[in-house]
Structure 1
Amino acid sequence: MERRKVGILGATGMVGQRFIQLLSNHPWFEIAWLAASDRSAGKAYGEACKWKLDTPLPKHIAAMTVQPNVPEGCTGELPKIIFAALDADIARELEPKFAAAGCAVISNSSAFRMAADVPLVVPEVNADHLALINAQSWRKQRGGYIVTNPNCSAIGLVLALKPLEERFGIEGLFVSTMQAVSGAGYPGVPSLDILGNVVPFIKNEEEKMQEEVGKLLGKVDGSSIKMLDAKVSAHCNRVAVEDGHTECVSVKLRKKATREEILAAWREFAPLSGQHLPTAPDQPVEYDDAVDRPQPRLDRMRGRGMTATVGRLRECSLLDWKFVVLSHNTIRGAAGAALLNAEVLARTGQLNKLGVPVNTEAKLQAVMA
């Protein structure tokens, strides 16, 4: 695979730092451009960023000059592949500008997740939704597009649900989350609010989960997605855990299933097998049969932080089955999710013609014919 230059929008934030950590030794991508807000632009990255991760900031990244968060006026060539780690309001303004400049914007923001022509993708779950990029006006006119990954709490959930939906169908779903403080960014939740406490409210989180699950498990219907026909109810809570979202799930299936059949569905779920994607885990869903697992401290780094761990499968007296699922919220749930999307785009050739409008490409093919 050709090594491609990439840029990071919102590079100084926590998700931006995860992008740098995961991309530093990536065999397919090379960080060539970092951008952040006006207060950071023009500074060396090491000066502008308060590095908070458990691996050292690479020296060559620390020495890079932070660029403005706009496609115009940057020093050096703007990479055509942009990883975006922006707040939703800022993303709503800036991401279309980069798509209009012919870039592939691979976004972690919620700004365009539910747009009809923007794919919301977890590759093991719905990689076929990437076909929506060809319906985007940016793709048709300038050769760029936007691809998004879901909310951090939705990703681990749909990884556990996808094999069940494929084999048995899903009629209804109840989920209650215990979400880590890192999901709130840095500095996150004040210590006096979270230590020894549970906060039973995360702004817009329940709405995001309920909407995004329907789109992620839905089907491509022309230039949009037909949503999953299932009822979803979510309770979202912030807890005093550093990393790792834990979710208690009850599910009603359309077709009755035994415990052995459900365990087999998870065990045999390996849709990316053979594609040799650097960030993809060997097993996207792992079941742990210990009575007290999964736990964030013990299980969040399975599959280098990209595997969802499931446990405590048992019958539910209200629906059909209930279980617990855990995933790393800033790796699988954020930067790692976007990076895996980029790897799928690279593997399927969607990064080869950036900046070439679809309309122009079609005309050239017609002339050559």
Structure 2
Amino acid sequence: MRYKVAILGATGMVGQKFIQLLDNHPWFDVSAVIASERRVGKIYGEEVDWIVSRDVPKSVRDLEMLPMDPKKVDADIVFSALPSDVAREVEAKFAAEGFVVASNASAFRMEPDVPLVIPEVNPDHLGLIEVQKRNRGWDGFIVTNPNCTTIVLVITLKPLMELGLKEVNVATMQALSGAGYPGVPSLAITDNILPFIKGEEDKVESEPLKLLGRFEGSEIRFASLRVSASCHRVPVIDGHTEAVFARFDRDVSVDDVIEAFKSLKPIEGLPTSPEEVIVVREEQDRPQPRLDRDAGNGMSVVVGRVRKDGENGVKYIAMGHNTVRGAAGASILNAELMAKEKLI
């Protein structure tokens, strides 16, 4: 079965990445592009400032941009690349009208009845969908993916939970594309590092607790884990790099941690899944964004420099493509999982 999909916020960087990744998708066809009021009625290929690849895909080039009105849209799935303040109102309207909304926005991530999902980490949290529909009286529903930095981190933390993980400190080096387009002014970031990203540390410290929590039938019991983050913008185009310091309730070896990383498996049958969820590099100078961000077509997280960090501690470097695995690709993978589970 093929599904018709619409893109909310289709002209922005993440909206463009959705379109790029969905071009020639085996399950999903982009049938509608939805944009701000000033762009409604204009032709997508003529209006968009396309920056994510060489050319606008032919499949969407001649589509007329539609308003953010669910009554004007014909689609099975709506992918949202909206800013959070706009998403809170618009996504709710689409869900109320019966649409499946796969959202990259932060507006609903921490709502108690909204699934926050990474398929390889917590697919069972989709059980919140029925709770959400019942609570809100919606015919449709919203499923969210995490913040781009959180996704890279939590994919590496999931297999470590079985080793007795109890505390995580992380320092991030985040790519410019994470700020959208036009994003950070060139004079601010050239020859520089920005040691503050508004709202980022709060997301990185709170979202993992929900993602790694336990679904108990009608709610998520958050993980008893302490996460402390310091987030920084660096002059890299794509690929978030994270220095992670993990502490456990017992002594663990480097080999234990590497074996745990390799044990995390993709969900079979999803077109966007990588062959390896976590790629472990043994070189002393890897991962690097320029060399490793496209691993698994941008859907793998690459880990390296795994080493002991005192008693009961291990430290490592994790890196992932922030606009693929960390944004559009994450929502697409969530939608594929929902399609596989007959939730769409």
TM-score (norm 2): 0.97
Give, in angstroms, the shift of residue 54 of structure 1: 2.1
The structure having more radius of gyration, on CA atoms, is 1
Distance in 1 between the 2:297 and 2:327 partners? 14
Q: Paired residue for 2:8?
A: 9
Q: Paired residue for 1:36?
A: 35
Distance in 2 between the 1:284 and 1:328 partners? 13
Does the aligned pair in 2 maintain the 1:168–1:256 contact within 8 Å? no
Q: SS at 1:207's partner residue?
A: helix
2:97 to 96, 101, 106: 101
1:152 to 135, 138, 148: 148
Alignment of 1:322 onto 2:315: yes
Q: Paired residue for 2:304?
A: 311
> Which consecutive aligned stretches of 4+ in structure 1 deviate over 3 angstroms post-superposition?
137-142
Alignment of 1:344 onto 2:340: no
CA deviation map 1:248-272 (0-9, x unaligned)? 0000112322111111111122151
Give, in angstroms, the shift of residue 231 of structure 1: 1.0
Q: Paired residue for 1:18?
A: 17
CA deviation map 1:61-97 (0-9, x unaligned)? 111000012213x2xx521310000000000111000
Does the aligned pair in 1 maintain the 2:42–2:64 contact within 8 Å? yes
Gaps of 5+ in 2: none
Aligned residue type for 2:147: N
Give me the CA root mean square deviation. 1.3
Q: Paired residue for 2:163?
A: 168
Distance in 1 between the 2:255 and 2:168 partners? 20
Alignment of 1:220 onto 2:215: yes
Give, in angstroms, the shift of residue 142 of structure 1: 4.1
Q: Structure 1's 103 and 138: CA in aligned 2 closer, same or farther, altered over 3 A? A: farther
Does the aligned pair in 2 maintain the 1:38–1:68 contact within 8 Å? yes
| Alignment coverage as a number of residue pairs | 344
Alignment of 1:84 onto 2:80: yes
More moved, 50-59 vs 243-252: 50-59
Distance in 2 between the 1:83 and 1:318 partners? 45
Alignment of 1:199 onto 2:194: yes
Distance in 1 between the 2:311 and 2:323 partners? 32
Q: Paired residue for 2:253?
A: 258
Distance in 1 between the 2:20 and 2:80 partners? 15
Q: SS at 2:70's partner residue?
A: coil
More moved, 146-155 vs 50-59: 50-59
Distance in 2 between the 1:288 and 1:177 partners? 19
Q: Structure 1's 191 and 317: CA in aligned 2 closer, same or farther, altered over 3 A? A: same
Alignment of 1:54 onto 2:53: yes
CA deviation map 1:161-212 (0-9, x unaligned)? 11111x2121100000000000000000000000110000001000000000
Does the aligned pair in 2 maintain the 1:102–1:138 contact within 8 Å? no
Give, in angstroms, the shift of residue 50 of structure 1: 0.3
Give, in angstroms, the shift of residue 224 of structure 1: 1.5
Q: Paired residue for 1:299?
A: 292
